[in-house]
């Protein structure tokens, strides 16, 4: 579950929780977390302004290597100020456990990797929207909005952490207590 920002039927910006993962396309067998091929007919109906969303974040992780995979955390800076991914959302009726219910689901758009991302994840990166692009993503006609699906400028992101945490859960709790005291 994650918070997502979208435009409601009255044209107001709303923030609500949605599940990350679209159901699989008709010929697929796995849920879709990231959308790259926006020219596919499967994705076209979800590219209307009514189904575009912003996915707020302060950082994201990509893995490098084969085994073991090494996590790398990216952010705008060490302070981790907020930014938004371009996303699409939809309602979906499906099983949760053994019960059929209604869901709101979303997926994040990806694009080619920029020069910084290529050594870690050579093929793709999420579409990161600047403040000036967020409104266009939510409201512009499809032809304009899809031009925002491009790599982040080189130098926009920093690697703010690499590798797995070394501290135990108990150590993390002690650290958290000192930081909040």
pLDDT for residue 175: 41
Read off the pTM. Answer: 0.86
Taking alpha carbons only, the member of 154, 178, 172, 6 closest to residue 86 is 6
Domain count for the chain: 1
Is 27 within a domain?
A: yes
Q: What angle do CA 44, 50, 55 make, to 5 degrees?
A: 90
User: What is the rounded distance in angstroms from the CA atom of residue 129 to the CA atom of residue 151?
Assistant: 10
CATH number for the domain including 24? 3.90.1680.10
Is 112 within a domain?
A: yes
User: What is the rounded distance in angstroms from the CA atom of residue 137 to the CA atom of residue 128?
Assistant: 11
| Mean pLDDT score of the chain | 88
| Helix residue ranges per DSSP H, 64-145 | 131-139, 142-145
pLDDT for residue 98: 78
pLDDT for residue 177: 42
pLDDT (tens digit, 9 = 90+) per residue, 70-123?
Answer: 999 999 999 999 999 999 999 998 876 777 889 999 999 999 999 999 999 999
pLDDT for residue 173: 46
Is 90 within a domain?
A: yes
pLDDT for residue 131: 87
Q: What are the respective helix, strand and coil percentages of the chain, to the nearest 5? A: 20, 40, 40
In this structure, of 4-13, 63-72, 95-104, 168-177, the range with the lowest mean pLDDT score is 168-177
Domain interval for residue 10: 2-58+80-154
Is the pLDDT at 10 greater than 70? The verdict is yes
pLDDT for residue 115: 96
Is 68 within a domain?
A: no
The answer to whether residues 117 and 62 touch, using CB atoms and an 8 Å cutoff, is yes
User: Between the CA of residue 166 and those of 8, 43, 121, 171, what are the distances in Å?
Assistant: 43, 41, 23, 9
Is 176 within a domain?
A: no
To which residue do tokens 């699906």 refer? 149
pLDDT for residue 168: 53
pLDDT (tens digit, 9 = 90+) per residue, 151-171?
Answer: 999 999 999 999 876 655 544
pLDDT for residue 172: 46
């Amino acid at each position: 579950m994650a918070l997502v920002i979208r435009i409601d039927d009255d044209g107001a910006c709303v923030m609500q929780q949605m599940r990350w993962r679209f159901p699989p396309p008709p010929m697929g067998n796995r849920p879709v977390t990231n959308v790259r091929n926006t020219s596919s007919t499967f994705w076209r109906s979800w590219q209307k302004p009514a189904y575009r969303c912003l996915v707020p974040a302060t950082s994201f992780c990509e893995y490098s290597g084969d085994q073991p995979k090494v996590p790398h955390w990216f952010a705008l800076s060490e302070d981790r100020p907020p930014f938004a991914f371009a996303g699409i959302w939809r309602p979906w009726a499906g099983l949760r456990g053994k019960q059929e219910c209604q869901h709101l689901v979303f997926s994040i758009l990806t694009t080619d990797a920029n020069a910084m991302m290529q050594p870690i994840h050579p093929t793709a990166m999420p579409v990161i929207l600047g403040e000036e692009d967020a409104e266009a993503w939510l409201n512009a006609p499809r032809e304009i909005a899809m031009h925002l699906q491009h790599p982040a400028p080189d130098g926009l992101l920093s690697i703010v952490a690499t590798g797995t945490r070394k501290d135990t859960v108990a150590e993390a709790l002690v650290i958290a207590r000192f930081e909040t005291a």
